[in-house]
Amino acid sequence: MKKKNIIYTIAAVALVALVGIKLIDNKNTIDDKAAKAIADNIFDEIPVKVAEVKYQEISNSISESGTFSAVQDLKLSAQSQGQITQLLVKKSQFVTKGTLLAVVDNTSLSSQIETAQSALNKAIADEERTGNALKSGGVSQQQFENAQLQVKNSRSSLEQLKQQSKNFRIVAPISGTVNDIFIEQGSFVAPGTQLLEIVDITTLNLIVRIDPKVFPNIKTGQKVSVTAEPYPGVQLQGKVETINVKADVSQKIEVGVAIQNNPKYQVLHGMYGTATFDSDNATQQVKNSITIPREAVVGSVQNAEVFVLQPDSTVSLKTISVGKSIGNNVEVLNGLKEHEFVVTAGQVNLEEGSKVLVKK
Walk along the chain (360 residues) and give the pLDDT tens digit of each residue. 545 555 555 555 555 455 455 555 554 554 454 445 444 445 578 999 999 999 887 766 778 889 999 999 999 999 889 999 999 999 999 999 999 999 998 877 777 888 888 888 988 998 888 888 888 888 888 988 898 899 899 888 888 878 777 788 899 999 999 999 999 999 999 999 999 999 999 999 999 998 887 788 889 999 999 999 999 889 999 999 999 999 888 888 999 999 999 889 999 999 999 998 875 544 445 678 889 998 999 987 678 999 999 999 999 999 998 877 776 788 898 999 999 999 999 998 899 999 999 988
Cβ atoms of 86 and 101 within 8 Å: the answer is no
Q: How many CB atoms lie within 10 A of CB 7?
A: 9
Residue 206 burial (10 A CB sphere; 0-12, 13-18, 19+): buried
Q: What one-character DSSP code corresponds to residue 310?
A: -
CATH number, span 46-58+287-358? 2.40.420.20
Q: What is the largest CA-CA distance in the chain?
A: 173
pLDDT at residue 159 in the model: 87
Which of 2.40.30.170, 1.10.10.10, 1.10.3720.10, 2.20.28.160 would CATH assign to domain 62-71+199-284? 2.40.30.170
Enumerate the H helices of the chain as residue ranges. Answer: 2-39, 107-136, 141-165
Q: Which among 348, 265, 326, 357 has a CA at the least distance from the CA of 60?
A: 326
Look at residue 318 in the predicted model and tell me its pLDDT. Answer: 93
Q: How much is the pLDDT for 73?
A: 93
DSSP 8-state secondary structure symbol assigned to residue 355: B
pLDDT for the residue numbered 198: 96
CATH number 2.60.40.1180 given to 104-171: no
Model pLDDT, residue 14: 55
Q: In what order do the strands lie in the sheet with 305-309?
A: 315-319, 305-309, 341-345, 46-52, 356-358
Domain map (residue ranges) of the chain: 1-36, 46-58+287-358, 62-71+199-284, 104-171
- Single-letter residue type at 256: G
pLDDT at 139: 84
What pLDDT was estimated at residue 18? Answer: 56
Contact yes or no for 43/179 (Cβ under 8 A) = no
Q: Give residue 26's pLDDT.
A: 52
Rg of the Cα trace of the chain?
42
pLDDT at residue 360 in the model: 80
- Number of continuous H segments (helices) and E segments (strands) in the chain: 3, 21
CA 94 to chain centre: 27
